[in-house]
Structure 1
Amino acid sequence: MSEQRKAAPPDPHDFLAVDDSLSDEERDIRDTVRDFAARELRPHVADWFEAGTIPDPRSLAKAFGDLGVFGMHLEGYGCAGASAVEYGLACRELEAVDSGLRSFVSVQGSLAMTAIHKFGSEEQKNHWLPRMAAGEAIGCFGLTEPDSGSDPGSMRTRARRDGSDWVLDGTKMWITNGSIADVAIVWAATDEGIRGFAVPTDTPGFSANLVHKKLSLRASITSELVLDGVRLPGDALLPGSTGLGAPLSCLNEARYGIVWGAAGAARACYEAALEYATTREQFGRPIGGFQLTQRKLADMLVDVNQAGLTAMQIGRLKDQGRCHRNHVSFGKFACVAAAQRVASTARSIHGANGITLEYPVLRHMLNLETVATYEGTEEIHALSLGQAVTGISAFR
C-alpha cells in the first residue's frame, strides 16, 4: 500500500477550509471587501459606535457605491449582477467589522433597491436604481411600526386614493437610514390590500426623527418615519407590489445577508479572543494554555465553522435556484445564535478589557442583540422551522 499523504494542520482561522471552495472571482470579491473594511471602516468604527452615529453617511454611501456592494446581487440598472455567494461574502466581511455597517448595505440593496427592482415600474427603476447603486441616493424601507413588528399584516399605516393621487398617513419605527434617505419604500394598507410606495423624502408631510439612546447598532442611523397626509402622484405606487408577500420577499433577501453577516461577526469575536488568549499572560503563561480557556476556544471554533458552513451551503443553494425561505430561516436562526454564543464567550476571555471599545467583542455582542431581533425574531424563525418540518402552523 502506498504511503498516504500527510494532511496539513488545520488553519485556526478557517479550520474546516470553508473558503477553499471559493472560485477565483469569489475570492477576489472577498479580499476586495475585506481590504476596504480594514482600511476604511475598522479604524473608525469604535469611535462611530461610541458617538452613536455615522458622522458622514453621504461619504460612506459614496464609498460603498464605488466599492460596488449596493444592490450587487441585482441585474442591470447599474448593479453588478453578482452571485448569491459573492453578495454573502461581502456581507460577511462588512459585519466582521460591525453589524451596523452591514445593515447600511443590506437596507439599501436587499430592501429598498430590491423592492424597486422587483416591484417597481421601468420609470421608477431607471430613476432610482443607478443612483442608489452608485451611492448617490440613499433609500430606506418602511415596514415595521411601533405596534406592528412580528405581525406586519396588522400595520396601521393607510394609503387612500384621492382622485389620481394617493394620500398616506401613519408611522414607521426602527427604520435604518430613515433620516438620511432620499427615498423611502413605504408599505401601507389600502382598500386593495397592502401596497408599496416610493416616497421621496422631501414630500410635504414626510418627516424622520432620529432614535436616540440606543445601546446596540450604534454605528448606524435609526429613525422613526412619520407620514402626515403625504400626497403622492399615482406613479409613486410600486405597481407589482400586491399583498404582504411583496415586502416579506424583500425581507428574505435581507435575512440572507444576515446569515453571512452573523458568521462574520462570530469570526471576528473568535479571532479577537484567540489573539488575546495567546498573548495575555497570567500566572506566568498565556491564558490560552489553561484548560478552561481552551475549552472556550474550542466551543467558539465549532460555532464559527458551523456558521460558515451553513452560510456557504445556503448561498450555493440560492445560486442553484434551490433556496427556500425556510433555508434562510434556518440560517438566521442558527448563525445568529452561534454568533451570540461566540461573542459572549469572547467577552469573558477578554476579562475586564472585554467591556471596552479597545476590543471589538462587546460591541459585537451588543449589536447581535439587534440582529437577533430584526428581520424576524429568533422565536419567529423557530416557528417557521417548526411549521416547515411538521406542516402545522403555530402562528395563529
Structure 2
Amino acid sequence: MEILILLIVAVVLLFAVKEIRRSLISRPMFKFFKRVLPPLSQTEREAMTAGDVWWDAELFSGRPDWQRFHSHKPPQFTEEEQAFIDNQLETLMAMLDDFKIVQQDRDLPKKVWDYIRKEKFFAMIIGKEFGGLDFSPAANSYIVSRIATRSISAAVTVMVPNSLGPGELLTHYGTDEQKNYWLPRLADGTDIPCFALTAPEAGSDAGAIPDTGIVCKGEHDGKEVVGIRLNWDKRYITLAPVATVLGLAFKLYDPEGLIGEKEDIGITCALIPTNHPGVETGERHLPLNQAFMNGTTYGKDVFIPLDWIIGGQDYAGKGWRMLMECLSAGRGISLPALATATGHVAQRMTGAYAYVRQQFGLPIGKFEGVQEAMGRIGGLNYSVESMRRLTVESLCAGKSPSVITAMTKYHMTEMGRQIMEDAMDIHAGKGIQLGPKNYLGHGYMATPISITVEGANILTRNLMIFGQGATRCHPYVLKEMDAAANPDEEQGLKDFDGLLMKHLAFGSSNFFGCLAMGLTGSRFVGSPVSGPTSKYYQHLTRLSRALALTADVAMLTLGGDLKRKEMLSARLGDVLSHLYMASAVLKRYEDDGRQHGDLAYVEYAVQRHLHLIAEAFRGFFNNFPNRFVAWTLRLAVFPFGIHFAAPQDAQLQAIADDMMVPGATRDRHTFLCYWKDDAKDMTGHMELAFLAMKENEAVYKRLQKAEKRGEIPPDLAGDELVKAARKAELLSADEAKVIKKVEQLRLTAIAVDQFAPGTLEKKAFAK
C-alpha cells in the first residue's frame, strides 16, 4: 500500500510540478519531436496551411458535435440565382447537341459561345460591382452539374473560369487597378481567361516548375522599366487555345537585387494578354474525345512589367499559397460537379433502360446480376450528391476547407467512375455505340479526365488527405510543429510543454474511450436522432475516436517516415473520408425531412462507408511495421474483432426496384438530369419510353400472361405484337392505338445509332 501511495505521489509530482515535468518529460519529448518532425519544403508547408478546417476537424478530433453539425442549414438559392437557373440555364441546355459538339465540330457552336459570354456564365464568381453575377458556391455547383448532364465539353468550358483562374485570383488578391480593368472585361465576355500551371515535368510537384521569370530592366510602352523576363512551356491548359488573357505561374528570381535582397523569390503569378509579344497559344490537345478547348502555351524571353504580377509587387513569391487557397475552393465545386452529373444521369437513365429493355419476357432490371450493379449506382449516387451538398454548404459558410475539398474531389470522382462502369455494363451495346441517342459514351470517356486533373487521384489520396488532415485537423499537432520550429528554443519549449500535457490527456482519453466503446459496441454513445439511423451516429462517433487514437500513435511511432509510407497514411485518409461521406449522407437524410423512400439508399450508403472504414483499419493494422503497437491498437479499437459488414444483397435489390419506379423519389435523386419531352432527344427518347411503359404496365402484364398461356406467340414486338394481341382479343381498339405508340417509343429507346457509309469518314477533325 505504501509503495502504491509513493508511486501516485511521484506521478503527481512528475506532472504537476512544472520544472520537474519540463526537465524529465517535456524537454526530452521536445527534442524527440524536433527529430522525428517530417521535413517540409516551403511549398509543402504553404499547401498544408492553406485553407480552413470545418467538420473534418471535428471528425479527426474524435469528438464530433452532431447537434451543431445538424444546426447548419443547407444553402438556398437567391431569387436572382433561381431566375438564372430557370431561364438562362434552361435556354443553354436546350442549345446543346453534344454529339455534334464532340464528334462533328470539335467545338461549341458560335451561338453557344456567344450566349455563354452574353449571359455571363463565365462570371458566376465575379462580384456585381465589376459586372459579374456574384453567385454562391451552391448555385455555381448546381449550374455546372446540370450542364454536365448534357455536355461535359460545355460544362468544362463554363467551369474553368469559375474555378482556379484569373477571375478568382484577381478577386482575392488583385490590386484595385487590376480588378477595375480586368474583372469587367472577364464578366462581360470581352476577355476569355485561362490559367497555366502544369508543365511537361511539373504537375503535382509545384516546386519542380521549370518556368522562370528573371527580374531585370527592359522596355515597355516605349519606356525602360523594371520588369520580368519570362520563359515558360505549359501544357494541358483548358481554354488556352481561345484565351485572350493568360494567368501564369512561374519561379521568380532577382539576381541583381532590383526589388529586394532575396534572389530566389519563389512561385509567382502574373496576368498577361495573349496578344503580348512573344506569347504563344492556340495549339490544341484532344482530351479523350472531348471538345472543350485545351492546349499549350509557351513563351521565350517575354518581358512584362512588374505590375502585371497578380496583386502587384507585394505578392511576388506568394503565388503558391494563392493557388492553394483558391484551388481548395474550386476543387470542391468543379470536378465534383462532373461526378454528380454522372450519378444523376446514370441513375435516372439506367433505371429507365433496365425497365424498357426486356429479356425472357422480363425487364432486365429484374435479374439479380443487373440489380447488383443498379443497387451500386443508386447507393453511390446518394453518397455523391450528399457529399456535393455538404461540401458546398461549407463553402457557402465562407470556409475554404482544403482537406474536405481534397476528399470531395478524390472520392466523388472515384465513385463517379464506379457508377459509370456499372451503367455501361448494364447498357452494353446501347452505351458503346456513339451517336445522338447515346447519353453515356462521352461521359464514360471523360471520366479519366476528372480522375487525373486538379491533383491526380493517386496523389490526392496518398499524400494530401491524411498528410494535410493529420496536421490541419488535429487539435494539437500543427501548434506543436510551430513550437518545435520556434527559433527561440526556450519559448518553444514553454509552448510545447503546455500543448504536450493537453495532447497526453487527449490521447489517454481516446485510448480508454475507444476501449469502452468497443467493449459495448457503441451502445451507450449518444445520438442526435432516434429511429433507424441513430445507430449509425453511434458507430461514427466510435470510429472517429479510433481515428484520433490511431493517427496519434502512428505519428508518434513513425514520425517523418509516415509521410513516406503512403499506403499506410492513405488508409487513415480513407477513414477520415468515409467518416465525412457517411456524415454527409445522414445530414442529407435529415435535411430532406427523413423521406421514407430514401431509407434504403441511406442504409446502403452508410453501411458501405462503415465497412470501408473497417477495411481501412484492417489494412492499416495488418501492415503497420511495429507489430506490438499494431496489435495493441487493434485490441483497443476493435476488442472483439472488425465486424462492420458490407451492405446485403436485399438492399441492392430494394434500390434497383425503386430505380424502376417513376415518382418523387426518382425525381429527388436525379433532379439534375436534363431531358426534353422529345422522342428524338438524347435522353428524352428513353425517359418517354419508360414513362409510357409504366403508365401501361397493367396492359403489358396482361400480354405477358397471355404469352405464357400460349394465346399469342412469344417474343413479339412493335406492330406484330399489337396485331397478335388484337387478333386474340386481348386489346381494345383504343388500347391497341396506345400500345402501338408505346412500342414505337420502346423500340426507339433500345435502338442504337447507325450511319450511312462515308458519313463518319467525312467527320471534321480537331481544329
TM-score normalised to structure 2 length: 0.46
CA distance in 1, matches of 2:395, 2:303: 39
Question: Which residue in 2 is equivalent to 1:360?
Answer: 439
CA, structure 1 residues 32+308, in 2 after alignment: closer, same or farther (shift >3 Å)?
farther
Question: Which residue in 1 is equivalent to 2:270?
Answer: 197
Q: Which residue identity lines up with residue 102 of structure 1 in the other structure?
A: A
* Pick aligned residue for 1:256 from 332, 336, 346: 332
* Preserved contact between residue 61 and residue 138 of structure 1 (Cα < 8 Å): no
Question: Which residue in 2 is equivalent to 1:303?
Answer: 380
Which shows bigger deviation, 375-384 or 278-287?
278-287
Q: Which residue identity lines up with residue 193 of structure 1 in the other structure?
A: G
CA distance in 1, matches of 2:444, 2:422: 10
Question: Which residue in 1 is equivalent to 2:588?
Answer: none
CA, structure 1 residues 24+320, in 2 after alignment: closer, same or farther (shift >3 Å)?
closer
Question: Which residue in 1 is equivalent to 2:210?
Answer: 156
* Pick aligned residue for 2:300 from 218, 223, 228: 228
Question: Which residue in 1 is equivalent to 2:365?
Answer: 288
* Pick aligned residue for 1:119 from 153, 156, 173: 173
* Preserved contact between residue 77 and residue 138 of structure 2 (Cα < 8 Å): no
Question: Which residue in 2 is equivalent to 1:166?
Answer: 228
Q: Does 1:375 align with 2:454?
A: yes
Q: Does 1:384 align with 2:437?
A: no
Which shows bigger deviation, 222-231 or 24-33?
24-33
* Preserved contact between residue 100 and residue 367 of structure 1 (Cα < 8 Å): no
Task: Spell out, residue by residue over 1:9-56, the C-alpha distance to the aligned partner (whole angstroms, 9 max, x if none).
Answer: xxxxxxxxxxx9663636555444652343022xx1122222472154
Question: Which residue in 1 is equivalent to 2:130?
Answer: 77
Q: Which residue identity lines up with residue 273 of structure 1 in the other structure?
A: T
* Preserved contact between residue 168 and residue 228 of structure 1 (Cα < 8 Å): yes
CA, structure 1 residues 62+175, in 2 after alignment: closer, same or farther (shift >3 Å)?
same
* 1:367 Cα offset (Å): 0.6
CA distance in 1, matches of 2:234, 2:143: 28
Q: Which residue identity lines up with residue 333 of structure 1 in the other structure?
A: Y
Question: Which residue in 2 is equivalent to 1:17?
Answer: none
CA distance in 2, matches of 1:61, 1:247: 27
1:121-160 aligned at under 5 Å gives the runs 121-160=175-214
Q: How many residue pairs end up in the alignment?
A: 373
* 1:203 Cα offset (Å): 1.2
Q: Does 1:219 align with 2:291?
A: yes
Task: Spell out, residue by residue over 1:35-93, the C-alpha distance to the aligned partner (whole angstroms, 9 max, x if none).
Answer: 2343022xx11222224721546x43432233333231332311222222111111211
CA distance in 1, matches of 2:89, 2:369: 32
1:299-378 aligned at under 5 Å gives the runs 299-357=376-434, 358-378=437-457
Structure 1 unaligned blocks of 5 or more: 1-19
* Preserved contact between residue 62 and residue 134 of structure 1 (Cα < 8 Å): no
CA distance in 1, matches of 2:108, 2:467: 43
1:4-43 aligned at under 5 Å gives the runs 23=76, 25=78, 28-32=83-87, 35-41=90-96
TM-score normalised to structure 1 length: 0.87
Structure 2 unaligned blocks of 5 or more: 1-72, 218-225, 254-264, 472-554, 556-561, 567-767
* 1:373 Cα offset (Å): 0.6
Which shows bigger deviation, 176-185 or 100-109?
100-109
* Preserved contact between residue 148 and residue 155 of structure 2 (Cα < 8 Å): yes
Question: Which residue in 2 is equivalent to 1:272?
Answer: 349
1:177-192 aligned at under 5 Å gives the runs 177-191=239-253, 192=265
* Preserved contact between residue 143 and residue 172 of structure 1 (Cα < 8 Å): yes
Which shows bigger deviation, 256-265 or 178-187?
256-265
Task: Spell out, residue by residue over 1:260-282, the C-alpha distance to the aligned partner (whole angstroms, 9 max, x if none).
Answer: 33212221222222222121222
CA distance in 2, matches of 1:21, 1:271: 24
Q: Which residue identity lines up with residue 269 of structure 2 in the other structure?
A: G
CA distance in 2, matches of 1:136, 1:365: 34
CA distance in 1, matches of 2:380, 2:105: 29
Q: Which residue identity lines up with residue 251 of structure 1 in the other structure?
A: L
* 1:389 Cα offset (Å): 4.5
Q: Which residue identity lines up with residue 60 of structure 1 in the other structure?
A: V
Question: Which residue in 2 is equivalent to 1:207?
Answer: 280
Q: Which residue identity lines up with residue 259 of structure 1 in the other structure?
A: P
Q: Which residue identity lines up with residue 235 of structure 1 in the other structure?
A: D
Question: Which residue in 2 is equivalent to 1:9?
Answer: none
* Preserved contact between residue 116 and residue 125 of structure 1 (Cα < 8 Å): yes
Q: Alpha carbon RMSD of aligned pairs, Å?
A: 2.3
* Pick aligned residue for 1:66 from 83, 107, 118: 118
* Preserved contact between residue 123 and residue 188 of structure 2 (Cα < 8 Å): no
SS of structure 2 residue aligned to 1:129: helix
* Preserved contact between residue 287 and residue 294 of structure 2 (Cα < 8 Å): no
Question: Which residue in 1 is equivalent to 2:149?
Answer: 96
SS of structure 2 residue aligned to 1:80: coil
Q: Which residue identity lines up with residue 354 of structure 1 in the other structure?
A: G
SS of structure 1 residue aligned to 2:123: coil
Task: Spell out, residue by residue over 1:222-255, the C-alpha distance to the aligned partner (whole angstroms, 9 max, x if none).
Answer: 1110111212223221124614111222322331
Per residue, is there more strand in 1 or in 2?
Answer: 1
SS of structure 1 residue aligned to 2:332: helix
* Preserved contact between residue 167 and residue 231 of structure 1 (Cα < 8 Å): yes
SS of structure 1 residue aligned to 2:351: helix
* 1:291 Cα offset (Å): 1.9
CA, structure 1 residues 168+311, in 2 after alignment: closer, same or farther (shift >3 Å)?
same
Question: Which residue in 2 is equivalent to 1:16?
Answer: none
* Preserved contact between residue 239 and residue 293 of structure 2 (Cα < 8 Å): yes
CA distance in 2, matches of 1:308, 1:259: 9
